[in-house]
Amino acid sequence: MKPSTALLALALAGLTGLAVPPGLAAPIDSLRGDLPITATEPAPALFKYINDKENIPRNFEEQPPLVPHTTEKYPINLTENGCLKCHMEGVTPGKDEDEDSKSVPMSESHYVDRNGVKQDKPVGSRHFCTQCHVPQADAEPLVENTFQAALTK
- Residue 81, in any domain of the structure: yes
Give the structural domain span for 48. 41-140
In a domain, 8, yes or no: no
Q: Render pLDDT for 61-94 as a digit per residue (tens, 0 to 9).
A: 889 988 888 888 899 999 999 999 888 877 655 5
Asked whether residue 71 is domain-assigned, the answer is yes
Residue 85 domain-assigned? yes
- pTM score > 0.85 for this model? no
Q: Is 11 part of any domain?
A: no
pLDDT in tens, 105-138: 888 999 999 999 999 989 999 999 999 998 888 7
Three-state DSSP class for 77?
coil
Q: Which residues pair with 135 in a beta bridge?
A: 67
Asked whether the beta carbons of 101 and 69 are under 8 A apart, the reply is no
Count of the separate structural domains present in the chain:
1
Q: How far apart are CA 138 and CA 152, in angstroms?
A: 21
State residue 45's pLDDT score.
Answer: 79
How many other C-beta atoms are found inside a 10 Å radius of the C-beta of residue 71?
Answer: 16
DSSP code per residue over 75-97: -BSSS-BTTHHHHSTT----TTS
Could you tell me the CATH number of the domain that includes residue 46?
1.10.1130.10
79 belongs to a structural domain: yes
